[in-house]
Amino acid sequence: DVKVTQSSRYLVKRTGEKVFLECVQDMDHENMFWYRQDPGLGLRLIYFSYDVKMKEKGDIPEGYSVSREKKERFSLILESASTNQTSMYLCASSFTGTNEKLFFGSGTQLSVL
Amino acid sequence: DQQVKQNSPSLSVQEGRISILNCDYTNSMFDYFLWYKKYPAEGPTFLISISSIKDKNEDGRFTVFLNKSAKHLSLHIVPSQPGDSAVYFCAARWGARQLTFGSGTQLTVLP
């Protein structure tokens, strides 16, 4: 079974803190993604990566950055956390190809106080 | 500007009956559609998909219908089971672009 593992299930941070969310996948997928899920808004794409050291902005990249130093690991960074970044963060991965399916991690619920 | 809309935040159905979840989209360029299911404390999991060249795809109790002229997608679950209670997201893709998700519908199947 494909496994996408997110390092924390719950995280509480203070406004202005630098926050790292880590994601690891074990299926040698080329593509990795970071989404946030908010009530009434569904899943919105923050950043994605097609390969090591590659990154592309999604629909809502402001206030976030990412790092992909190894194929299996994709990190989401909040440089200076703000209260409007309180959300459920979901990591996903997939193979490259037409109509590839995303495999998601269990999510990290981040609260910024 | 939501290109994929799920207008019903919630739906309750009796066990054994049919569940119909709806999804509307505005971008006529979308050519591939998917449904994901999400249980609490878990990530979404892929359920079923359909290409724009088809109007129906069936997998066991789950059938997805696509009406391109109406820009409407629906997921039918027959018969519904209590284990189907979850949030269902529809998603759409245009070519090699990334998935665009709807806001989700909470399905509750009552025993």
Residue of A nearest to B9 (CA): A40
Interface contact B93, partner A, CB < 8 A: yes
Interface of A with B (CB under 8 A): 4, 9, 33, 35, 40-45, 48, 58, 90, 92, 98-99, 101-107
Q: What percentage of chain A carries pLDDT values higher than 90?
A: 85
Supply B39's token pair. 């249980």
Tell me the average pLDDT across A2-17. 93
> What gap in Å lies between CA B25 and CA B16, rounded to an integer?
29
Q: Do B99 and A45 touch (CB under 8 A)?
A: yes
Residue in A58, A98, A105 nearest the CB of B43 = A105
Between A51-60, B69-78, B91-100, the lowest mean confidence (pLDDT) is in B91-100
Q: Is the pLDDT of residue A23 over 90?
A: yes
pLDDT at residue B94, as a whole number: 85
Q: Answer whether B103 sits within 8 Å of A92, measured CB to CB.
A: no
- Please state, in angstroms and as integers, the Cα–Cα distance from residue B37 to each residue in A41, B16, B20, following that order: 16, 19, 14
Collapsing DSSP to helix, strand or coil, A84 comes out as helix
A98 pLDDT higher than 90:
no
Q: What is the mean predicted confidence (pLDDT) over A20-32?
A: 95
In terms of Cβ atoms closer than 10 Å to its own Cβ (0-12, 13-18, 19+), residue A106 is: middle
Give me the pLDDT at residue B41, please: 85
Tokens of A13: 């941070």
pLDDT for residue A99: 63
Mean pLDDT over B86-111 rounds to 92
Q: What is the pLDDT of residue A107?
A: 96
Question: Over 70: is that where the pLDDT of A30 sits?
Answer: yes
Q: What is the pLDDT of residue B96?
A: 74
Give the residue from chain B lying closest to A37, CA to CA: B103
Closest CA to B73 of B36, B44, B106: B36
User: Is residue B79 reached through a cis peptide bond, with omega within 30 degrees of 0 on the bond before it?
Assistant: yes
Question: Exposed/middle/buried for A41, CB within 10 Å: 0-12, 13-18, 19+?
Answer: middle
Question: Which residues in B lie closer than 8 A to residue A103 (C-beta atoms)?
Answer: 43, 46
Provide, as residue numbers in chain B, all residues whose Cβ is less than 8 Å from the Cβ of A35.
Answer: 101
User: A44 to chain B: which residues are within 8 Å by CB?
Assistant: 101
pLDDT digits (tens, 9 = 90+) for A47-62: 999 999 899 999 999 9
The percentage of residues in chain B with a pLDDT greater than 90, rounded to a whole number, is 90
Q: pLDDT, tens digit, for every residue of B45-54?
A: 999 999 999 9
